[in-house]
Amino acid sequence: MRLVRELAEYERALHEVKATEEQLRERLFGDDPKAFAHVVEHEGRVVGFAVWFLTFSTWNGTHGIYLEDLFVEPEYRGHGYGKTLLTELARIADERGYGRVEWAVLNWNEPAIGFYEALGARPQDEWAVYRLTGDALTRAARG
């Protein structure tokens, strides 16, 4: 939870964090997880994480991985931890025959964009992300 809050603060959205430690523990590590997490440690301390879940491409007929969050504490960046996390997700996708690993990045986050592009990732500029949440989600659900 500490790292989730640090990520939200970095993304200028700490006020949007509603999750609790109990929710994360159950959803990521409970009996029937729908999302998954990998962490990296430095001298026994968790300093980074990747949270992901499966997607499905009707065009490819295969699953993919959607990387919801990738975060490494600022003082531990440059140690290869972020690359290790993404490499592990790519390995899982390749091993399981998934067609892609994808994620969203804030358009102002130049360090992250440079990091992703150095790994070979390319932006999908022709797509816009839409979201239903809060009151709009409730209204849509009620028709």
Q: Residues 100, 108: contact at Cβ < 8 Å?
A: no
Beta bridge partners of 73: none
Query: Of these residues, 66, 76, 81, 116, which one is catalytic?
Result: 116
Spatial CB neighbours of 50, under 8 Å, sequence gap ≥ 6 = 37, 38, 67, 69, 70, 85, 86, 88, 89
Is 98 a residue of the active site?
Answer: no
Using CB atoms within 10 A of its CB, is residue 89 exposed (0-12), middle (13-18) or buried (19+)? Answer: buried
Q: Residues with catalytic annotation? A: 116
